[in-house]
Structure formats: structure tokens, C-alpha cells
Amino acid sequence: MGTSVESLPVHFPIFPLAGALLLPGGNLPLNIFEPRYLAMVRDAMQTHKIIGMVQPRPEQENERSPKVYDVGCAGRITHFEETDDGRFQIALTGVCRFDIVQELDCGTLYRQIHADFRRWLGDLEPSEPAIELRAALLDALKQFLDAHELAAEWSGIEQAPMSGLVTSLAMICPFEPSEKQALLEAENLDRQTDILTALMRMDALTTPGGTPTQMH
């Protein structure tokens, strides 16, 4: 990904958002409108452009300052646009996962943390999941698409690199926040692929069907 751990800040803001999963190498579009997060983006744009995506713990989702999971993913702002009505439309590109060491008492409208990247340095060296996991993943994806009556460009899916496919599916599939957190905390891409395969199979078994939609 062209990033070294030395170039990553250890202090940066966090954006708690339930169900929003950012993974290394993934791209997450965000529509920013709350004053505290507008301030967060402004400040990030003037410094290292890093924001940590984290999820609130399930019982905390409706709190203004919720307790969050201990693992998140640092994203770099790679797209920034200000709308006529004062919103920011940004995109974060996932760089590396982190462990929260502590939350900082810094006086800003938004929350900031001290992070530790050491457990996740493998994120900085892209790799591919084991090829033998591909058949099971694609089979589970077919079941998932059929259950949700989703259409997909299957030829493109079959040709896609495994790492990119796993990252994209993990981020866009409508799993529960705790399930997305399990995907985030998987120790490597092989384990992430196994979890994603299992989640899609379970979802297919419990979904009665839905409205046909084009899945890109």
C-alpha cells in the first residue's frame, strides 16, 4: 500500500459509526454533516489526513459518546468535496488496523485516541488469501445473491483478485455490527475469508428473499 508504520500518526480522531466497516485497501464514502465531524475532517485535512473508523458497542449505538470496540481501521482521506449546503463528502481508503491504547482528553468536539498498530503490521504488506478458499467463497456468494434476489456481473467476480473481493464483500454486505467487527478483527485474509464465507451462508439460510437489485 506504499505506507510504513513510521508514517502513521499514533494520535488521531475516531469516527464511531455502527455498521460501517473499513478494511485495509477498501474505500469508504462518507457524508459528513454533524458540526463535530465537520471540525474533525477540517482538522484532519490540515494534518495527516488520517481518521480512525470504529464501531460503537451494540448497547451504546444511540449514545452521543458511545463506548467503542477496541479495534478499528485507520483510513486516509483520499477524496474531499464540500457541498453547497456545507456538508463534506469524503472517501477514506483503509490503511492499517489498530488497537486503541487510550482515549485522549484533548478538548476537541470530536474524540481522539492513542493507537497501537504493531499487532496489525501485516496490513501494510498486501497478500492474497489461499487459492483453495476461493471455491467455497464463490459458492457462498451465489447462495447469498440468490437469497437476496441480487443480480451481479459474475464474470467480473470470477476474475477479481481474492483480496479485493473479500474486502469489498465484507464492507458492503449488510451484516450485523458484531459480525462486521469479527471480520475486522480476523487475524489475516485467510481467516477473514473463512468468516465471510460462513456469514454469507448463514445469511442465505435465514433470508426469505427480497427485491431484485443490481449488485456492482
Torsion of CA 152, 158, 162, 168, to 10 degrees: -10
Q: Are 95 and 126 in contact, with CB atoms under 8 Å apart?
A: no
Its pTM stands at 0.90
Report pLDDT for 214.
Answer: 39
Is 105 buried (19+), middle (13-18) or exposed (0-12) by CB count in 10 A? exposed
Per-residue pLDDT of 21-77, as tens digits, reads 999 999 999 999 999 999 999 999 999 999 999 999 987 666 778 899 999 999 999
Low-confidence ranges of the chain (pLDDT < 50): 1, 210-216
Rounded Cα distance, 123 and 28, in Å: 17
- For 5-124, the fitting CATH number among 2.60.120.200, 2.30.130.40, 1.10.10.10, 2.40.50.100 is 2.30.130.40
Residue spans per domain, the chain? 5-124, 131-215
Report pLDDT for 146.
Answer: 93
Handedness of CA 201, 199, 208, 26 (dihedral sign): negative
Angle between helices 134-147 and 162-172 (to 10 degrees): 30
